Each structure stands twice: as structure tokens, then as C-alpha cells.
Structure 1
Amino acid sequence: MENNPKIRENDSSDYLPEELIAQILVNLPSKSVVKLIVVSKLWSSIICSKSFIDLYLERSLNRPCILFSFLRGNIRTGQFLVLPKLNTKRRRISRFFGYDPIEDEYKVLCMTVLQVPSNSGPVVSEEHQVFTLGGAEKKKEAAWRMITCKVPHCPATQGICIDGVVYYGAWSNSKRKGSLIVAFDVRSEEFTLVKLPDGVEIYYDRDSELVNYQRKLALANLSYKEKFELLVLDKQEWSNISVMVPSLKDLVGQDLFYLRGAISSGEFIFTPMHSDWSSFIISYDRKEEIARRVELKGIKDRSPYMRVFLNHVECPIFL
């Protein structure tokens, strides 16, 4: 009786050590990795395991890049996760995304702000709700949960998550008085305030940007000159870093810029404020005092609302 070569081929693949399969997969782009889940139950269990995801992330951390975001969803896998409808009748909603490295959980924080006439007095955020993202067991009970916030405030900026804490700029009320930074602990789901130095203001949306500077929270405001001030929070103390970019206007023809933070090499990244900013960025080496205009090629459907994320790394994550 002759052996079936197809059977021999399939049988031999079953004896590949899991460690070897993982080492092969970890060298592939994340977009390719997620597609290989359907190869077999073994491959699916390897790719979805926390040990493989941690291994992939460790490798990717050595190759950070800059992410330009246009779409809502996972642009690497082409997948989207639709959340249940928020339990509210109000229209104005602020939303933030965070990760708890201890429990290995992703959470979405949403809050509403009552829409009232401007002459009716200041208001603060209400109806704070949290949605936990996770595996199959958590999906069965997935729902928005009401939580308590004892810190009256009105969100003003985009959020950023650093070491399990989501930070965002805010005011003490809707009249944009009393600038402050709110810290939301993703694990405990508690709110605390981070006091700003005297005289420092939070401006609306992108005019005030919270950035990750060497794994520390930093605040950068829109600059109208070649000098930028970056406030860095370290052990509950603020320090001021002045960044002077010589001949910035001569380099790009305008003088309104956002400071987006610094990449792993230490270079600061800037983006122009005006509508054509998505065509280039500015990289500034503070030690060498050299500024470079970096053209962005191959990007279609440019948008003035495109966001920039520094030190981005690829990693398959299954929610």
C-alpha cells in the first residue's frame, strides 16, 4: 500500500515544536500574523496567547515608528470592534482609551456633558461609564458600567495612556476656568487631579497636546514662535524644557506649529497648524541644533484632522 504524500506532509507539520512556530511567526508583519489564525487550532492558540503577544511586542519595541491615523479601527488588520450603544440620551460625549498592564485589560472611558444654553451657568461632566474589552468570557458580560467620579471637571483635550493611567486636559467647569489635568487609573477606575504650575493654561483640543516624553507625561501648547515650552511631569513635580528651533519659518514658510513630542532617538517632532500640514513634518535634533523637513509621500486622502502618534510599535492584539 502506497503512502499518501499529502498525509505525510500534513502529519509532519503537526510535529513542528510550538517554540519554532512562534519564532517563525514573530518575524512576520502583524497584518500577516492575524490572517494565519485560520491555519489550525494550534496556530490560533499560539498567536492568541499572551506569551506570543509579549514576545512580538518585545521585538517590535526595537523598531518604533511614527503612526499617521486617518481611520477609526485597526488599520493593520482591517478589523473593527463595534461597542454597544452608550447608556445616555445626551449628545456631547468625551471618550478615552486605556490599557492596564497589570490585569492585561483594555478599557474605554466615556462621559457626557450636559448641553445647556451659555447663559445658564457652568456645568461639568456626568454619567461616567467604562467598557472593558477582553476575551470570549468577558464578551458574554460585556456592557457599559456606570462609575463614580468625585472630581468635577469638563474634558478639554485628547487623552494619552502611560503606564496604566489615562491623562487628559480639562477645566473645572464648562466656562473654561481652572485648568487642570485629570488622571484616570485604568485598573482601579478612580479619578485624581494633577495640579498644573501657576499660570499654565489648558486650551481646547489640539491647541494643548499631552504627549509621552521619555515615558513621562508632558504638556505642549501651540507655539506662535520658534521657541517651544514643554512641561514634563516627573514624580509629581513639573519641569520646563525649552526647545528653540532656529529658522523654522524660513524652513517651511509658516510659524504656527504643534510640538508632538520626541521619538526614541531624542529628536522632537513638529507638525504645522495649517491645512496642508499632512504633507510633511519637522524633525529637530536638539543636541546638534539641526531641523529637517521630512516629506510624507504615498499618503492618499490627506486630511487636516490626521493625528500623529510617536514611537508606535506593531503588535497583534485580540479584543
Structure 2
Amino acid sequence: MPFSFDLAVTLQREARRMKRRSKRIRRRQSDICKSHEPWQEFPSDLVIEILTRLPAKSLMRLKSVSKLWSTLICSQYFTNLSSAPRIYMWLGFDKEKILVSSSSSPDLDGSFVVDQDLTISAMKGYSVSHVYRGLMCFTKGTNAQIYNSTTKKLVVLPDIEESNIIAKDHKFNKIIYHIAHDPVHDQYKVVCIVSRLKVVKLLLEHWVFTLGGGVSSRWRKIPCTCPPHSPFTRGLTINGSMYYLALVPNSIKPLFVRFDISSEKLSVLQKPEDAFWCRYYYTEIIEYDGRIAILDHADLVHDGVMDLWVREDEEKNRWSRMKRVLHPSQMNMIKTHIVHNMSLRVQGTTRNGDVILVPQHIFRIGPDQFNVLPQVTTHFYVFLYNLQKNHFRKVEIKSNRYNTKRWDVVGFDDIENLMYL
């Protein structure tokens, strides 16, 4: 009996001691977690400055430090600060295509350097249709998938089963996918525009898919109050809206369309009336000094002239027109590299305001139809043109690994996106 009593007392003491130790451990863990919160010991500006200097792989690990750190690193504000510009190339070989990425250093040595191969097996048979803030859209017919080039995550988008146009599986269907960001709800969305010309009637549908919306996510059809149209520009997203120019049947004047990413509403905007709209293939919407602008570069290769319309006031529909004329030395540079049947395609603008111009072969196959082929030389290069400074230059893309005559620059991006798809 005494033995049993002493054993019971000992067990009770040990239980109390373990309970006190457990409480101390929990308090210590709590203190450690609190000490990891950047605002506890260091100014938030200093923490953000340190984090922006780290590579994406390190940032992905640091997201697990605390909920606050995860929110900070995944925030749109931090994403905009932490990224370096990159240019993407879609290289075609005999039986396959690969996607490579080039670091941006043209201000230092006048070149981009290929340093990443982003090709994955799921890309086989697909083509790159859009690159936006670290997200890439790959398409094959009506199929589409989104790839995060930073986290290496891929999501296959569901079919748009309720589309009356896609269901017909007609060869004249035109399907455009565009990735955009909703700043109000901090969401990424994929906009799909489906159109088909049927005799003299144009059929049109707009669909939206929210990325990261869970298993229940599906395509939503957006009511279109605009006249039937077919987009001919890639589309530009700025300040929460996507803008594009579109053709209207039996009219040489296109529509200037805006799609509000948050409200998911379409509207037709007024455009500069003095623009020469017949050359729509050489017309592109770009960002100029934080504003929407329309660039006509049809006369660039032959005459060294570009026309630029900048929207100064949306409510009053006030546009300013500028003409840019290249210097003779710059024209000699173009004539040296741009030969018969070659032209330049606008592929976005850099963070410094340079317009990226990609050489390619263009063949007219009809009144309003063109056949565009990629560059056919092992010499990789693009042109950068700063509209504000009127500075035009050639930038080489350096790579010792790839030897192909079929290549194209498919996108420019300056974001490393850590969001989960």
C-alpha cells in the first residue's frame, strides 16, 4: 500500500511538471512566432526592402513563417516591387517547340541573355497566347491552360461547354484568351472572346473564369451590349480595365472596347477620329506614360515614321497626336535587318517605356487576312524604341544552347507571381 501511494504521488507531481513545461513551450513558440512578424522588431519598409532582394524560391519558403509574411509576399503591392523584367521566346525545332526566358540587361550591355528553359511536357502541342504578370496562357484549339512561371504550377481550364459558337466547331471560329487582374477583389481572371463570321453576320460571346476560385469555378458568360465585333489587337490591361480594338462587319472604322475586370461589364469608348484605321494590322494599343495610347507603325520599316495617339482625358475624349521620325542612322539599322516580306510586330512595352518590336515575315493572303511566320535566322534579336526619347536600338538575345531558324518572341513580363492557381 505505501508503495502504491508513493507511486501515485510521484505520478501526480510528474503530470503537474509536464503540464507547466507544456505551457512554457507553447509560450515560447508564441513568442518565436511573434518575433517573426516583421513589424515587431523592424520597420516594415526595411523588411520589404530585404524581401524584394530575395529570389522567388526563397520567398516561397518564407511564406510559411507566418500568416502575415504570407499575406505580404503574395500581395499585389509586393509582387510589383520584387520583379525584374523578362522576355520570353517560343523556339520551334523540327518536332517540338520550347519556351525559354531571358533576363533583361539591355541597358548594361545591349543584350538579353537566355538563362531559363521553362518548357514542361504539358506544353506539347500548345502555343503561347498571352503572358501577364508571371502567368502564361497556353492554347490548343479550344483547350487552354494557365502556367505560373514562378511557382511552376499548371492548371487546365475547363471547357466552355455552354458556348453556342464553340459547340459548332467551325473552322472560322476566332478564340482569344487574355489574363487580367481584378484590383478590387485582388483576383486573376481569364477572359475568353469567341467570335465567328457567318455570311454577313458576326456571332460574339464573352466568357470569364476566375483563377483560384476552387473546384466550383466555371466559365461565366458576360452579357455584351456592344455591337458584334472581332478583336484584332492583343488587348492591354491597365488600371483594372482591359482595352482592345475590334473590327465591325462592313466598316473600316474599328471599335475601341473596354472590359472592366471588377464589374465584368463591356463598353464602347470614343477613339481618335483622325487615325488611319485601314492599316489595322499595324495598329496596337500600348501604355504610354501610364496612359492608354494607340500606336500606328505601318510606315516604320519603309519611312521610319510612327503615329501615336495618347488619351489625355477620357470624359472629354481628348486625344493628343504625336509623330515620331527615326534618325537616318536608325533607319539604316532597320534596312540592314529587315528585308523583303519582313515587318515588325509590337510585343508590349517595358517598365522603362520602351516598345518591343519583333521582326517577322508577313504575307497578305486576302483583303483583311495575313499569314505571319516567325523569324528565319539563328540570329536572335528585337528592337526597343523609347517613344518619349525617340531612341531606337537593336538588342541581341544571346544564347549558346539553341540553334534554330524558327523563333518568335511571345511575351514580355516584369512580374514574379507567387499566387497559387
TM-score w.r.t. structure 1 length?
A: 0.77
Aligned to 1:132: 210
Q: 1:56 aligns with which of 78, 82, 94?
A: 78
Aligned to 1:27: 53
CA offsets per residue over residues 260-307 of structure 1, 9 Å max, x none?
A: 565444544433334158811223456765533211113846754422
Aligned to 2:85: 65
Name the CA distance, whole Å, in 1 between partners of 2:231 and 2:296: 16
Q: 1:281 aligns with which of 382, 385, 403?
A: 382
3-state DSSP of counterpart to 2:75: helix
Residues 1:307 and 1:239: Cα distance change in structure 2 (over 3 Å): farther
Query: Does residue 232 of the first structure (1) align with residue 294 of the second (2)?
Result: no
3-state DSSP of counterpart to 1:80: strand
* Runs of 5+ unmatched residues, structure 2: 1-24, 91-127, 129-137, 139-146, 362-374
3-state DSSP of counterpart to 1:84: coil
Name the CA distance, whole Å, in 1 between partners of 2:386 and 2:230: 36
Equivalences for residues 259-270 of structure 1 within 5 A: 259-260=346-347, 263-270=350-357
Name the CA distance, whole Å, in 2 between partners of 1:96 and 1:271: 20
Name the CA distance, whole Å, in 1 between partners of 2:412 and 2:231: 20
Residues 1:17 and 1:80: Cα distance change in structure 2 (over 3 Å): same
3-state DSSP of counterpart to 1:28: coil
Name the CA distance, whole Å, in 1 between partners of 2:356 and 2:312: 21
CA offsets per residue over residues 153-176 of structure 1, 9 Å max, x none?
A: 222221111011011110123x56
Q: Tell me which moved more, 187-196 or 234-243.
A: 234-243
Name the CA distance, whole Å, in 1 between partners of 2:345 and 2:247: 21
Aligned to 2:324: 243
Query: Does residue 111 of the first structure (1) align with residue 193 of the second (2)?
Result: yes
Do 1:267 and 1:285's aligned partners in 2 also have CA atoms closer than 8 Å?
Answer: yes
3-state DSSP of counterpart to 1:123: strand
Question: What is the one-letter code of the residue matched to 1:27?
Answer: R
Aligned to 1:79: 153
Query: Does residue 187 of the first structure (1) align with residue 230 of the second (2)?
Result: no
3-state DSSP of counterpart to 1:33: helix
Aligned to 1:4: none
Aligned to 2:412: 309
Shift of 1:82: 1.4
Name the CA distance, whole Å, in 2 between partners of 1:262 and 1:110: 23
Do 1:64 and 1:264's aligned partners in 2 also have CA atoms closer than 8 Å?
Answer: no
Aligned to 1:272: 359
Residues 1:186 and 1:170: Cα distance change in structure 2 (over 3 Å): same
Residues 1:203 and 1:98: Cα distance change in structure 2 (over 3 Å): farther
Name the CA distance, whole Å, in 1 between partners of 2:235 and 2:285: 7
Question: What is the one-letter code of the residue matched to 2:153?
Answer: Q
What RMSD in Å do the two structures reach over aligned CA positions? 3.5
Do 1:220 and 1:259's aligned partners in 2 also have CA atoms closer than 8 Å?
Answer: no
Residues 1:208 and 1:269: Cα distance change in structure 2 (over 3 Å): same
Shift of 1:14: 5.3
3-state DSSP of counterpart to 2:332: helix
Shift of 1:191: 0.7
For the pair shown, the structure with the greater C-alpha radius of gyration is 2
Structure 1 or 2: more strand by fraction: 2
Query: Does residue 145 of the first structure (1) align with residue 220 of the second (2)?
Result: yes
Name the CA distance, whole Å, in 2 between partners of 1:202 and 1:214: 26
Name the CA distance, whole Å, in 1 between partners of 2:356 and 2:197: 36
Do 1:48 and 1:318's aligned partners in 2 also have CA atoms closer than 8 Å?
Answer: no
Residues 1:289 and 1:98: Cα distance change in structure 2 (over 3 Å): closer
Shift of 1:95: 2.2
Question: What is the one-letter code of the residue matched to 1:123?
Answer: L
Do 2:180 and 2:237's aligned partners in 1 also have CA atoms closer than 8 Å?
Answer: yes
Equivalences for residues 211-222 of structure 1 within 5 A: 211-222=286-297
CA offsets per residue over residues 84-143 of structure 1, 9 Å max, x none?
A: 111231442222222111221221122322353xxx2131413x2211123xxx314311
- Using the aligned pairs only, state the percent identity: 25
Q: 1:156 aligns with which of 217, 232, 237?
A: 232
Q: Tell me which moved more, 285-294 or 180-189.
A: 285-294
Question: What is the one-letter code of the residue matched to 1:170?
Answer: A
TM-score w.r.t. structure 2 length?
A: 0.60
CA offsets per residue over residues 224-261 of structure 1, 9 Å max, x none?
A: 33111122223222222222222334214127333556
Name the CA distance, whole Å, in 2 between partners of 1:209 and 1:217: 11
For these two proteins, the number of residue pairs brought into alignment is 295
Name the CA distance, whole Å, in 2 between partners of 1:172 and 1:242: 27
Name the CA distance, whole Å, in 1 between partners of 2:278 and 2:192: 20
